[in-house]
Chain A
Amino acid sequence: MTVLEPRHAEELPEIRQAVAELCSRFGGSYWRDLEPDSYPERFVRELTAQGWLGILIPEQYGGAGLGITAASVVLEEINSQGGNAAACHAQMYTMGTVLRHGSDTQKQRWLPQIADGTVRLQAFGVTEPTAGSDTTAITTSAERIAGGWRLRGQKAFTSRAQHSDLMLLIARTTPLAEVSRRRDGLSVFLVDLRQAGLQMTIRPMRTLMNHATTEVFLDGLEVGDEALIGEVGEGFGYILDGMNAERILIAAECVGDGHWFVRTAAAYASNREAFGRAIGANQGVQFPIARAYAAVEAADLMRWQAAALFDAGQRCGAEANMAKLLASEASWQAANACLDTHGGWGFAAEYDVERKFRETRLYLNAPVTNNLVLAFLGQNVLGMPRSYGG
């Protein structure tokens, strides 16, 4: 594998520094005080105002028109500074489906408002109580009515639905029993949550960390024709072609977390004394941190490679998935090393270690579980027998 030059290499240090400065005004106590379930509204507003969440939107629609490499640096830096990019990363990339498959009218209508933050599109309803990894098993349905569609069903883990104006939703327009391929008959809708009324109920779900995730109940919600994105029945493909971007951005968030844990652990290990010397002099403390550091750096290389391929318009499915796998494992390794280094104090909220520990644990399981990443590599890259898809 040859390592590619990142796109916008010249701007990346400036981007990193500007985001770090913004984050420095939202320190650990800001994030701590939001626990267990307040949304980082002030942070997200500031990030939006400074243009960071519109980084991927083309300039003609009011965004900055940069690539996935630059976008990944923004999210990495938020996590590296102790924040939680998962609270808002979706505003950056959910619009990709509209950009790639929406009509001109839809793009003109929504993208400029998403770019300047007057409209938030950061809820994406795919997962259901009985369909997670197996997306094509969803049962939420969209039934054709005059001038639009009627939506029925239940979504689970629809994150940020209470902090979003629009929700991208995938639903069956043809029942599973009537399609020849499982992936057929799914369609994507852009639902205006502000107009949803009583036919929709959103209930918060408490989770391990502060993530503003919800259950969404659709009880015959009617949406107009203008809500449909792209062609009827082609929705699954639309979702898939946004995956690589998402994988790369998630990998970068993990790298950011990894750096935070390694930095925090190394500093604590150098200062904390036991038995008359710094605990970091003990190999039992020092080596796990060093090993985690190596893992984070190795994963980071895969992330840069995947991002460069993506920005060059080349195939990057394998690299994007490997980056997500390796980076989420590395940040979890770093999280454990950091928690161990802090002894009991790692459990004390004031150190932020336990919060970051909970936050980074998510990436092993969502937005895609690492098993499914391995299954993708095993069957789609290495050609072994299938356990999913077909």
Chain B
Amino acid sequence: MNVVVCIKQVPDPNSPGQLDPSTHLLKRDGELVLDPGDEFGVEAGLQLVEKHGGQVTVVSMGPERGLDAVRKALAMGAAKGVLISDDSLRGSDALTTAKVLAAAIRKQDFDVVITATESTDGYTGVVPQMIAGLLDIPAVTFAKSVSVEGDKLTAQRQTETGIEVVEATLPVVLSVTAGVNEPRYPSLKGIMGAKQKPLDRPGPADLNLEDVGGASTGQRITAIDSAPERAAGEIIKDEGEAAKRIVDFLADKKVI
């Protein structure tokens, strides 16, 4: 069973992000790291192949510096890396991203394509479903646990109201939530071994993609507004009946 995991490199989530006022895109000149959300994807992929055989290939689209993220995934145990980092792809929107990733994935042997549910920087949360659409295979999203038997994948899916159990026939796109597992960290042997592992660097031509780049995308960010400030909360001073007022308030909001 072969697994492709899509991994994105994102600005270090520990340092506050900033938008470029001219393009409205995230400034990404600082350090880039493997999206912490994608570590769950890599781990899920590794667990699947450890159980069922096969190998994990990681696919990433992003700048040259994204190699570090790919290297980290290889050090964790992925067998092969694919990094697409052509200049013409700078500033791609979600659909372009999905097209490029789908084209790269098509070139791999795969039964499952794993992504996170949304990235830590762009977080449109649409790329996984778009990849599934482009590959014309089912998308099983928001999985919080996964198992595979034969050609059937079963996932528990987190929803607002509870947990759904979903089955799909391979191949599928699977998006996993944070906490689906505990991602391993690279061992020393993993880090040293990563350098010997194959790394593909296809350009748009190799993927038969004409003219997918930033300028020609169908989406443009026209304006950015700050999120509305939250209204100040109401402070209840305890003058003997604070508890009752809080209970009334919660009941009023139908929380209790």
A residues adjacent to B (C-beta < 8 A) = 11, 14-15, 17-18, 21-22, 49-52, 54-55, 64, 66
Complex contacts, B187 vs chain A, CB 8 Å: 18, 49-51
Contact A52 B185 (CB under 8 A): no
CA distance A11 to B186 in the complex (A): 12
Contact B189 A18 (CB under 8 A): no
Q: In angstroms, how far is the closest chain B Cβ from the Cβ of A6?
A: 16
Contact A64 B192 (CB under 8 A): yes
**Which residue on B lies nearest to A23, using beta carbons?**
B185
CA distance A143 to B192 in the complex (A): 45
Q: Can you identify 21 A-B contacts, CB atoms within 8 angstroms?
A: A11-B191, A11-B192, A14-B72, A14-B75, A14-B186, A15-B188, A15-B191, A17-B72, A18-B75, A18-B185, A18-B191, A21-B185, A22-B185, A50-B188, A51-B187, A51-B188, A51-B189, A52-B188, A64-B189, A66-B188, A66-B192
CA distance A18 to B68 in the complex (A): 13
**B157 interface hit (Cβ, 8 Å):** no
Q: Is the interface of B mostly helix, strand, loop or mixed?
A: helix
**Which residue on B lies nearest to A49, using beta carbons?**
B187
CA distance A120 to B226 in the complex (A): 57
Complex contacts, B189 vs chain A, CB 8 Å: 51, 64
CA distance A55 to B191 in the complex (A): 12
CA distance A15 to B71 in the complex (A): 12
Name the 3 nearest CB pairs between A and B, nearest first. Answer: A51-B188, A21-B185, A50-B187
B residues adjacent to A (C-beta < 8 A) = 68, 71-72, 75, 185-189, 191-192
Complex contacts, B185 vs chain A, CB 8 Å: 18, 21-22, 50
CA distance A64 to B189 in the complex (A): 7
Complex contacts, A21 vs chain B, CB 8 Å: 185-186
Complex contacts, A50 vs chain B, CB 8 Å: 185, 187-188
Complex contacts, A52 vs chain B, CB 8 Å: 188
Q: Told that A15-B188, A50-B187, A50-B188 touch, could you supply 18 new A-B pairs with CB distance under 8 A?
A: A11-B192, A14-B71, A14-B75, A14-B191, A18-B75, A18-B187, A18-B188, A21-B186, A22-B185, A49-B187, A50-B185, A51-B188, A51-B189, A55-B188, A64-B188, A64-B189, A66-B188, A66-B192
Q: In angstroms, how far is the closest chain B Cβ from the Cβ of A212?
A: 24
Complex contacts, A14 vs chain B, CB 8 Å: 68, 71-72, 75, 186, 191
Complex contacts, B71 vs chain A, CB 8 Å: 14
Q: In angstroms, how far is the closest chain B Cβ from the Cβ of A65?
A: 9
Complex contacts, B72 vs chain A, CB 8 Å: 14, 17
**Which residue on A lies nearest to B71, using beta carbons?**
A14
Complex contacts, B192 vs chain A, CB 8 Å: 11, 64, 66
Complex contacts, A51 vs chain B, CB 8 Å: 187-189
**Which residue on B lies nearest to A11, using beta carbons?**
B191
CA distance A52 to B71 in the complex (A): 18
Complex contacts, A66 vs chain B, CB 8 Å: 188, 192
Complex contacts, B75 vs chain A, CB 8 Å: 14, 18
**Which residue on B lies nearest to A10, using beta carbons?**
B195
Complex contacts, B68 vs chain A, CB 8 Å: 14
Q: In angstroms, how far is the closest chain B Cβ from the Cβ of A47?
A: 10
Q: In angstroms, how far is the closest chain A Cβ from the Cβ of B190?
A: 8
**Which residue on A lies nearest to B76, using beta carbons?**
A18
CA distance A11 to B71 in the complex (A): 11
Complex contacts, A54 vs chain B, CB 8 Å: 188
Q: In angstroms, how far is the closest chain B Cβ from the Cβ of A187?
A: 34
Q: In angstroms, how far is the closest chain B Cβ from the Cβ of A46?
A: 10
CA distance A21 to B34 in the complex (A): 13
Q: In angstroms, how far is the closest chain A Cβ from the Cβ of B115?
A: 22
CA distance A14 to B70 in the complex (A): 12
**Which residue on B lies nearest to A70, using beta carbons?**
B188
CA distance A378 to B187 in the complex (A): 42
Complex contacts, B188 vs chain A, CB 8 Å: 15, 18, 50-52, 54-55, 64, 66
Which of B71, B188, B192 has the most chain A CB atoms closer than 10 A to its own CB?
B188
CA distance A235 to B72 in the complex (A): 43
CA distance A89 to B188 in the complex (A): 16
Q: In angstroms, how far is the closest chain B Cβ from the Cβ of A23?
A: 10
CA distance A54 to B187 in the complex (A): 11
CA distance A14 to B189 in the complex (A): 12
CA distance A215 to B187 in the complex (A): 35
CA distance A18 to B192 in the complex (A): 12
**Which residue on A lies nearest to B188, using beta carbons?**
A51
Complex contacts, B191 vs chain A, CB 8 Å: 11, 14-15, 18
Complex contacts, A11 vs chain B, CB 8 Å: 191-192
CA distance A22 to B186 in the complex (A): 9
CA distance A21 to B188 in the complex (A): 12
**Which residue on B lies nearest to A21, using beta carbons?**
B185
Complex contacts, A17 vs chain B, CB 8 Å: 72
CA distance A15 to B75 in the complex (A): 11
CA distance A122 to B187 in the complex (A): 21
Q: In angstroms, how far is the closest chain A Cβ from the Cβ of B76?
A: 9
Q: In angstroms, how far is the closest chain B Cβ from the Cβ of A371?
A: 36
Complex contacts, A55 vs chain B, CB 8 Å: 188
CA distance A50 to B68 in the complex (A): 20
**Which residue on A lies nearest to B34, using beta carbons?**
A17
Complex contacts, A22 vs chain B, CB 8 Å: 185
**Which residue on B lies nearest to A51, using beta carbons?**
B188
Which of A14, A15, A50 has the most chain B CB atoms closer than 10 A to its own CB?
A14
CA distance A56 to B200 in the complex (A): 32
CA distance A309 to B187 in the complex (A): 27
**Which residue on B lies nearest to A24, using beta carbons?**
B185
Complex contacts, B186 vs chain A, CB 8 Å: 14, 18, 21
CA distance A50 to B76 in the complex (A): 11
